[in-house]
Amino acid sequence: MYNLAYKVTTSTCDSEGKLKLYSALQMMQDCSEMWIDSEPGVKQYFTEQNMAQLLATRQVEIVRVPEYKEELTVTTSVYGMKPMFGFRNTFIYDAQGKPCYKTWSMGAFVDKVAGKLKRVDDATIASMTLEPQLEMNYKDRRIILPKDGGEVLEPITVLRADIDYNKHLNNANYVRMAMELLPEDFVVNGLRVEYRVAAKLGDKLNPTIYKNGNVIIVSLSIGEEVSAIIEFS
């Protein structure tokens, strides 16, 4: 398990003084990325093999949205490991140790040069510290798009500020872009994201939005290929 301490600051708040979902996702992502420092054997293997772990899917269950100046602790732990995929929980707790956000995610292991899935050897998997799977409402990692009824909106250009050190659109920025398309009165209590094709600098993301009661799905495509699907509930 790996922990990071945070405080809800002005730059992470929305207009109501509450933590932005985008900022919470950045906290989760940072903690998940830093986790590898707690597993030196895995870190060495990934360095030697020139591999990276890329987020493939994430589900977020929002219990309570923290407010300005609250002290938070982000924890991440791996509960499952396969040759090409890893599964983890990342939770954000308040100062009383109660969860504000519960998440699980699946990461894919890829070769940095080829950009394709790459297997982790059995010895490295056996060396991993696995933690118990935490309690939350687990949903399927696949998001099924409706066959029709979607509204096509104006393209979104991927800017330099959107790119991370993996040279593609940062995971949290997909959600930030999609949230701008939601009705102003829509309160997000749950989130699922499925990442398919990484968007890069200058790409045009074509949004299609599907509304069905308390669920809104946003599909972001590059040409005919779906880059990411975000489901808000």
Give the span between the Cα atoms of 196 and 212, in whole angstroms: 23
Q: Nearest-CA neighbor of 195 among 215, 222, 162, 214?
A: 222
Q: Does residue 78 have a pLDDT over 90?
A: yes
pTM: 0.94
pLDDT, the chain, mean = 94
Q: Does residue 220 have a pLDDT over 90?
A: yes
Q: 37-51, pLDDT tens digit by residue?
A: 888 888 899 899 998
Kindly report which listed range (10-19, 28-37, 63-72, 75-84) carries the lowest average pLDDT score. 28-37
- Which amino acid would we find at residue 120? V
* pLDDT confidence of residue 112: 87
* pLDDT confidence of residue 148: 86
Average pLDDT over residues 123-151: 93
Kindly report which listed range (64-78, 86-100, 162-176) carries the lowest average pLDDT score. 162-176
Residues 6+ apart with CB under 8 A from 129: 38, 39, 78
| Angle formed by the axes of helices 171-179 and 21-34, nearest 10° | 170
Kindly report which listed range (13-27, 43-57, 130-144, 191-205) carries the lowest average pLDDT score. 43-57
* pLDDT confidence of residue 38: 87
Pair of tokens at residue 21: 């979902």
Q: What is the number of other CB atoms lying within 10 angstroms of the CB of residue 188? A: 15
Q: What is the number of other CB atoms lying within 10 angstroms of the CB of residue 202? A: 10
Q: Does residue 104 have a pLDDT over 90?
A: yes
Give the span between the Cα atoms of 74 and 92, in whole angstroms: 4
Q: 108-120, pLDDT tens digit by residue?
A: 999 988 888 999 9
Pair of tokens at residue 195: 């990442």
Q: Return the H-helix or E-strand segment holding 24.
A: helix 21-34
* pLDDT confidence of residue 150: 93
Give the span between the Cα atoms of 30 and 80, in whole angstroms: 20
Give the span between the Cα atoms of 10 and 37, in whole angstroms: 29
Q: What percent of the chain has pLDDT over 90?
A: 83
* pLDDT confidence of residue 191: 97
Which pLDDT band, with edges at 50, 70 and 90, does 4 fall under?
Answer: very high
Distances (CA, A) of 34 to 2, 76, 99, 226: 8, 9, 20, 29
* pLDDT confidence of residue 155: 97
Q: What percent of the chain has pLDDT over 70?
A: 100
Distances (CA, A) of 22 to 27, 85, 180: 9, 25, 11
